[in-house]
Each structure stands twice: as structure tokens, then as C-alpha cells.
Amino acid sequence: MATETPPTSILRPLVADLHERRERIREGGGAEKVARQHEAGKLTARERIGLLVDDDTFTELGIHGRPHFSQRAMEGKDAPADGVITGYGKIDGRLAAVCAYDFTVMAGSMGMTGELKVTRLRELALSKRIPFIWLLDSAGARIQEAVGSMFAGSGHLFREEVIMSGVIPQVAALMGPCAAGTAYIPGLADFVPMVKGRGSMALAGPHLVRAAIGEDVTQEELGGSRVHCRKSGVGDLEVADDEECIERIKQYLSYFPQSCEESPPLAPCTDPVDRGDEDLLDVLPDTNRRPYDMYEVIRRIADDGTYFDLKPQWARTIIT
């Protein structure tokens, strides 16, 4: 008796194609651009998310995003995930929304589809009352698409950051150059760590400055960590590399509740309630006309040495 050949599933090839397309998208701008990112001392957007978010907890939203159908200038151009990775996952066991601009895809520029993805993520973070983290490494608005005042609805970004302020923690980490559109985000965020020598925020990059006024200026001079952590005050913390930046974000979030509707997390404390510190008498000067290291005062008062030291290395060097 002849054995019947089982019918070939029409779904299996579709599922295989779906997995294949997703794998290609996860490669970002391709091996050459990923290698260039690593040569610059930077992790890729997906590597950064991998360090920040607990293993196997990240759910990506809009992975199949591509340049918007209304943008004729982008016809035929490939931009995996439209240059920005959006989703949610757990950071030390607690849910958070994460948005990471992918510099390997069109320099992480803001496209219409990408910004619609980020808008959706902001709405999710606010409605679910979870922290929102930007991992910024972007050339700003994509010039091919930034036509008209309603570009991607990105003008709502600033209003929504204000609405989220005081409701959920907002972290904007500058891990690469951020111009124009992405440079505005940190100004309204709660915590802004900057990677030394790589993170920057300015209205335009060196090439545009040179073209506009003929002046040569470096990215660092325009708006690097030295400028924003020491002068403007927009940057809160100067860190050495991407890895330290991720650790500082985790540390910062550990001090905060998910939203204003929860109580802050509690940590066990071994400090006696009546603990004193006689050495404070040596830290404070004998006259209010002399300066003193206020960081040292706070460090001695905080329980169990848990003070989150935002003082950058340059300040420690000057004071000590």
C-alpha cells in the first residue's frame, strides 16, 4: 500500500521568511557599519539594550518599520527598523520602556516611521507608568524627510516630556553625537549621563557649522561632555564608556519608584539610627566665607555609603 505524502504547509515558508527578515533587520546597517561603530569605541544600539535590559525580557515594537510610504525621497532606500529600536523590558526585574537610535542605519537619523514608533512607546510608558530611557546616538532629523511643521508629529515630543515629568523617571543617555531633534530631548529629561569624548548635543554638527559660517569646530567644542557637564549644566554625569553609562542608568533607576504613584524602593540598612560622624567637623570650614566640599558632607550623611555620586572625575580632581 502506497504511503501518502503529507501536504506541504504553506505557512512554514512564510514563518521561515519572517525569521530571516528579522535577522537581517537585527544586523542594522550591516557588518561594515557595525565594525565602524566598534572602531569608534561605541556599542551598537542592540548591544546597548542587551546590557541594559534583563536577559530574555525585551519585547521589540515595530521591528519591521521602514521609511514612511509618504516620503518619496526615501523610495528604494533600506533603513532597518527605520533607524531606531523601540520596546520594553525589565531592568533589574522592573519594567521600563527603552528607545535606542541606531547610528549604523543612516546615522541614527529621525525618520517619520521611527518617530511614530517612539511616540507610541512614550504613550505606553505614560499609560503603564514605567520609566522611559533614551539611548541617544543620532544625527538628528533625517533631512530627506523633515519637510513641514508636522514632521512625524515630533513637535509633540516636548509637550509629552513635560507631561511625563514628575510622573515617571526619564533618562536621556548621550552615547554618541546628537544634533537638532535628538539634542532637544536631554533638556527635559531627569537624568542625562554623557560618554566622555563621544556623547554630544548641539543644534548642528561641525560640517554644517563649517558650511554656514566657515568656522572649523570640533564636536566636543560644540557640545561635548566637557561643555554640558561643566558649563551649561544640561549634562548630569560624565562617564568613561558605554558600559559605565549603562551601569549608571541602572543605579539611578534603582533609587526611584516606577512612577509617582508608587513608593520608592526600600533597601536594607545596617546604619544605626543614632549614627554620627565626628569627621564632619573637619569637613566644614570655621567660617562661611570659605568653600567646602558639599559632596563629602552628603557622602558622610547617606546610609551605608549608598550616596549616588554625580560628581564627575574632573570635579574630584579640582577639589582634592
Per-residue pLDDT in tens (0 to 9) along the chain, 320 residues:
566 666 778 898 999 999 999 999 999 999 999 999 999 999 999 999 999 999 999 999 999 988 877 777 777 788 899 999 999 999 999 999 999 999 999 989 888 889 899 999 999 999 999 999 999 999 888 877 765 555 656 678 889 999 999 999 999 999 999 887 888 899 999 999 999 999 988 887 777 778 888 888 877 878 888 889 888 889 999 999 999 999 999 999 998 999 999 998 887 888 888 888 888 888 888 888 999 888 888 888 888 766 665 554 444 433 33
Which letter does DSSP use for residue 62 in this model? -
Instruction: Print the SS3 string covering 260-320.
Output: CCCCCCCCCCCCCCCCCCCCHHHHCCCCCCCCCCHHHHHHHHCHHHCCCCCCCHHHHHHHC
Q: Are 86 and 120 in contact (CB under 8 A)?
A: yes
* Same-domain check for residues 201 and 312: no
Which of 82, 108, 105, 92 is closest to 175 using CA atoms?
Answer: 108
Provide the grid cell at 101. Answer: 537610535
Burial of 97 (0-12, 13-18, 19+ CB in 10 A): buried
| Domain membership flag for residue 268 | no
59: part of which helix (H) or strand (E)?
Answer: strand 59-61
* Same-domain check for residues 72 and 191: yes
| Domain membership flag for residue 176 | yes
| Domain membership flag for residue 265 | no
| Domain membership flag for residue 113 | yes
| Domain membership flag for residue 136 | yes
Provide the grid cell at 30. Answer: 550591516
- Residue 290's domain comprises 280-319
CATH number assigned to the domain comprising residue 39: 3.90.226.10
* Same-domain check for residues 101 and 235: yes
| Domain membership flag for residue 261 | no
Whole-model pTM: value is 0.86
| Domain membership flag for residue 272 | no
* Same-domain check for residues 183 and 310: no
| Domain membership flag for residue 50 | yes
Count structural domains, the chain: 2
* Same-domain check for residues 244 and 295: no
